[in-house]
Structure 1
């Protein structure tokens, strides 16, 4: 009696819709062929929307990995696929697959024909088909790139429909022809941008949206991080970016913008500032150096305040410590007084206004504009990768090169324009003006002019202030 041969079925489609049958249709036909061939189906595996070509960016195919494991384990006699390109569209991988199957005595069932990879004639036919499959994948990639470049050149929208917009369809064909502001959600985008520029926190805006029942495009609740990711996208300024095309990297799109390009650039610059968490415009800011000073022990954490109450006297005091390593501990009041004294002494110098006025600032305008454009490009690349419009390998390369160019542009644009408050305080009467200046403005002045580092130095287990444990050095860009 002949033993029934065991066959595993595998179906796959890529993101290109021109490839024909869906995975469900492929598996349905594979079951019929297995039944006609009197084969025992020992498993069905699938990969939906995953390319098997050299243009895939290395995205994993879990279903195909399971089939290969089954081959190696000896748990199957045949692998059934709708066509040879379902396994791979790479010639080298096709050759490796045939070697693997031959080594384990496994045959390939392509449609209704069974091939033996150890047979030279069958192997030649399968490799010939593999060459055709790789060639076709290259043609598909070229066609997709050409179509994408044409749409980009025309400023047509790309990717998914973002929050704040809705689809515009052709009234006759029903096909998508564009996007337009959504009357229900577009106002929320404009509101979020305006409130962020006014100094509100993303988390606070997200909580307010949640309380008002405003949800994301997918119906989930807003949070600080996803709100920030949303407002950074160039699409809201009407900008069509072309990160992977031989075109200008950003140009006007064909849709109506929700915010002005100027506000979008201001927002990206603000969000890119590593010290932005220390900038708030409200009166709730109480401590001069929290989020501004650096830790002298770990050199990576930011300084925050902690409250202590003496067991002996019951007196409450505030101290500065590191949010990362907790390795420094300085009394806040004395530290603030010392740093303020250093700042006031510098701002009281007769020639300070001339030193702080940067005559070359206009020459850096081009670098600042380039930095703003590169921030928009970064946001668009991230959005394309999130929407699977850009493969992982290309996206990673573009992110790396764009970040390097952004860092260089920001370096050329330094020093940043001095806050008006710096020159308002500077002069012979600096001490009086400093005392009259709100804390959040004083923090901005310190952050602009000085680098403050709080070092270790604990006596008797209690935070004790010593001037040598606080370093206040002027930034080179302003001296």
Structure 2
């Protein structure tokens, strides 16, 4: 290696996420490394730097510049005789990775200057190599201790119902001004009403897209100062934190926004903070978000009440809207693939809406829907049974007296029973889109008129089904003569 190359040093800078303020920042490391280079007569070349990147085996983010450093060493592009690092743990906290890194430095005959040691090591020297290898073992051991302490703290916080991670939107946290210890998590007067509105509107059938557009128009922004996206609102609607429950999944990074409603290993603890939404509303919202048949269409596509809902009684295909070439002719519903039936859109809408409103005005509507959906099922009883089964699974996992074979067989049986109960819970839940519309009396008509079209379509899709009002099917006109839309409708019921 030429003399001028030996006079050049390059540095690798890294810092993990540091909330304590005690770690050396990338800038501080560079300042110290620069002084070391000057003292040794080295010219500093282009640095490698990974900010907010862990080097432990628990890391989830790729260290881009460390990867580039390895590639440059392997291909001969490193172009320096010395690598400067502030301390060995900046290189790696994984012993296997550190050992391979040292082998590469030795093979390329690149020395390592550790600024915090005030010393330059030569990997080709057996004693220096041993010292560097021991530093790698110490770094991994320290990383494992930190992880164990963190896991233990998360578990203890979960049992105590204390919050973890970022403060959820809708809450503010108070800390002791002297010790900086957590004091309480309380509803935020500014953002808590938005969270309550989000859940209420999803439960009432509003799409996430329409809510996002409305929130943006009203000036609601997230912590970054940008409007809430559909995905962000979905994540908020999945958060158990708003029910006053603390979520803990053993072996996983703590999160309040994990969709864990059906996980058998989830541990839910009564939290120390006030809930923003009722658990009944939360469960209803989860059922809506979990529904595979749920439509997330663009608002512009929801322009016709019965499109893709009403059916042709001749070919069994759905009806869609057709626009005639003549402006004098009104838009019509027609079967999608053929021309078996055609009916003026406004005429069919008028008949369907009258039937739907009349059905919504029934005083026995809720009981009727519950009975048709799942006769005799009590929702609270099912949820209590689900909670009991989850506790039994937790107790089973802690039972050391059972063999692995017996434990596996019993756990499988309990999980099957749990999954069956979850399906019964879904079936027993009243369709959340009908909330606020099922009150008896004349008010149903006014509430229906006030609904946005996308919600009307969701209500129509639920009610115009064989087990409720009946499937709306359109027949051909008798003798091919014009007649009222009501005379061409068949309500097919199960």
| TM-score, reference length from structure 1 | 0.66
**1:212: Cα distance to partner?**
2.3
* 2:281 paired with 1:263: yes
- The 5 Å alignment of 1:96-107 reads 96-107=100-111
Matches within 5 A, 1:325-336: 333=342
Contact 2:309 2:461 in 1 (8 A): no
* 1:244, distance to aligned residue in structure 2 (A): 2.8
Alignment-derived partner of residue 159 in structure 2 = 153
Q: Show CA shifts across 1:278-309 (max 9, x none).
A: 89xxxx8844462799xxxxxxxx98945443
Q: Is residue 2:169 matched to residue 1:169?
A: no
2:95–2:140 contact (8 Å) kept in structure 1: yes
Q: Does 1:232 align with 2:238?
A: yes
**CA contact under 8 A between 1:26 and 1:82: conserved in structure 2?**
yes
TM-aligned CA distance change 1:65 to 1:286, over 3 Å: same
The answer to whether the Cα contact below 8 Å between 1:305 and 1:319 also exists between their aligned partners in 2 is yes
* Cα 1:441–1:230 shift into 2, 3 Å: closer
- Secondary structure of the residue aligned to 1:209 is helix
SS in 1 for 2:45: strand
Within 5 Å, give how 1:314-393 maps onto structure 2: 316-319=331-334, 333=342, 358=374, 361-362=377-378, 366=382, 370=386
1:80 aligned onto 2:84:
yes
> How much has 1:20 moved relative to structure 2?
3.3
Q: CA RMSD in A?
A: 4.4
Output one character per residue of 1:305-333: Cα deviation in whole Å (capped at 9) or x when no partner.
45443479967444566xxxxxx677785
Q: Cα gap change, 1:154/1:129 in structure 2, threshold over 3 Å: closer, same or farther? A: same
User: Are the structure 2 counterparts of residues 237 and 102 from structure 1 closer, same or farther at C-alpha, using a change threshold of 3 Å?
Assistant: same
Determine the structure 1 residue equivalent to 2:11: 9
Alpha carbons 2:245, 2:269 under 8 Å: kept: yes
SS in structure 2 of the partner of residue 218 of structure 1: coil
Q: Which residue of 2 aligns with 1:199?
A: 205
The one-character-per-residue Cα deviations of 1:165-208 (angstroms, maximum 9, x if unpaired) are 12212244454433211111111111222222222222222222
In 2, distance between residues paired with 1:170 and 1:264?
Answer: 32
- For the 8 Å contact 1:365–1:413, the answer to whether it is kept is no
CA distance in 1, matches of 2:81, 2:319: 65
- 192-201 or 355-364, which moves further after superposition? 355-364
CA distance in 2 between partners of 1:419 and 1:222 (Å): 26
Work out whether 1:244 is the aligned partner of 2:250.
yes
Residue in structure 2 matched with residue 210 of structure 1 by the alignment: 216
Q: Give yes or no for contact 2:170–2:195 (8 Å, CA) kept in 1.
A: yes
Contact 2:205–2:458 (Cα < 8 Å) also in 1: no
Q: 3-state DSSP class of the match of 1:71?
A: helix
Instruction: Kindly indicate whether residue 137 of structure 2 is the aligned counterpart of residue 139 of structure 1.
Output: no
3-state SS of paired residue (2:273): coil
Inter-partner Cα distance in structure 2 for 1:448 and 1:278: 23
Q: Which residue pairs with 1:299 in the alignment? A: none
Q: How many residues align?
A: 379
Would the aligned equivalents of 1:169 and 1:176 in 2 still touch at CA under 8 Å? yes
Asked if 2 retains the 8 angstrom alpha-carbon contact of 1:47 and 1:64, the reply is yes
Structure 2, unaligned runs of 5 or more: 253-264, 312-316, 353-368, 391-414, 435-455, 472-491
Counterpart among 41, 47, 53 of residue 56 in structure 2: 53
Equivalent position to 1:44, from 41, 44, 47: 47
1:189 corresponds in structure 2 to: 195
Q: How does 1:389-404 map to 2 (within 5 A)?
A: none
Q: Structure 2 residue aligned with 1:253, among 258, 267, 271?
A: 271
Looking at structure 2, the residues matched to 210 and 308 of structure 1 have their Cα atoms a distance apart, in angstroms, of 34
Separation in 2 of the partners of 1:12 and 1:439?
55
Counterpart for residue 70 of structure 1 = 72
Aligned match for 2:99, one of 95, 112, 131:
95
